[in-house]
A = this chain, B = another copy of it.
């Protein structure tokens, strides 16, 4: 594991969020930001699954890339440790199942696993292609989203509300929702960003604010409960969020708290836009009710960084994701198209 201080890092660090070096995965440890920039070196399937479940590596498109590289990692480990085909298959399945909601993880694991009969070289080439595609997709998606929003709202500097983290840390390249924000800024069409802190794990405070600061974009944090009211009071011209899975009917699973913003955007009459790569759309899942929603440990809510905030006996209901019904979604923007689900 390599450490360097955040002070030493420029915005180009966002180009190195996840990589493949000497048969290992390198990845920024997203649990250590914004205070420390730590790059993890993941050498085994165990280490990768741990990094995914603890959210050191997170974000739906990035999970897809991590899964793809994870298959290459498993193949290397299989060679080193002499696994048979059944063991390799089981280990690959562990990667695919590390988190249930984002469809990208399972999808890219299965895609790259199809290359296993071609040998390690073929697997690594397939995995690196997934990574390269993610970067290219994020830029196309970002530009399409910015064009859509200026079409909806007019060519003026927009106030944009967003949730969780959907930048390079989540997606590589420019990101998804945060990529749209970056593309708006490039067009001179961005006023400021309001980012929810995104409890319980504070991806908004820790990651989105950090990326926005790296990019020099004016931004304000809000408590999650404040987001809908700030929208009601005119602090946003549009809401732009990412997605972990889009069902066939257009229902959108995304970080818990997204649904409340969709309700507020509808009431305020402003666009609620989902920015997500095509790989997030899951034709095999009919509706949001069919999307498995990860229920995480109580202590993420009853504690903060290991310090208990609630009384000892208090439990929590800690869904990591919610589902926004398609009828509240103005548009889903992908790298290829603009979908209007209702």
Of B205, B229, B316, which contacts A260 at CB under 8 A? Answer: B229
> Interface readout for A41-74 with B: 1 if CB under 8 Å, 0 if not?
0000000000000000000000000000000000
**Residues on the B chain within 8 Å of A213, using CB:** 311, 313-314
- What is the bound-complex CA distance between A268 and B199, given in angstroms? 23
Q: List 5 A-B contacts (CB under 8 A).
A: A213-B313, A223-B257, A225-B257, A226-B317, A260-B260
Of the listed stretches A114-122, A129-137, A275-283, A297-305, chain B binds: A297-305
Roughly how many angstroms separate A246 CA and B226 CA in the complex, as a whole number?
19
* Given A206-B310, A310-B206: A302 touches B256 (CB 8 Å cut-off): no
A210 pairs with B311, CB closer than 8 A: yes
What does DSSP make chain A's interface, helix, strand, loop or mixed?
mixed
Q: When A224-B199, A301-B197, A309-B305 are in contact, do A219 and B314 touch as well, CB less than 8 Å?
A: yes
Output the least CB separation between A212 and chain B (Å). 8
List the interface of chain A (C-beta within 8 A of B).
34-35, 163, 194, 196-200, 202, 205-206, 209-210, 212-213, 219-230, 232, 235, 255-260, 263-264, 267, 298, 301-302, 304-305, 307-311, 313-319, 322-323
Contacts A305-B304, A309-B305 hold; do A315 and B220 have CB atoms under 8 A apart?
yes
Would B256 and A310 count as touching, CB distance under 8 A? no
Q: Are B226 and A319 in contact (CB under 8 A)?
A: yes
B224/A223 in contact, CB under 8 A? yes
Given known contacts A200-B223, A225-B196, A309-B206, A259 and B232 CB-to-CB distance under 8 angstroms: yes
Cα A194 to Cα B315 in complex, Å, equals 10
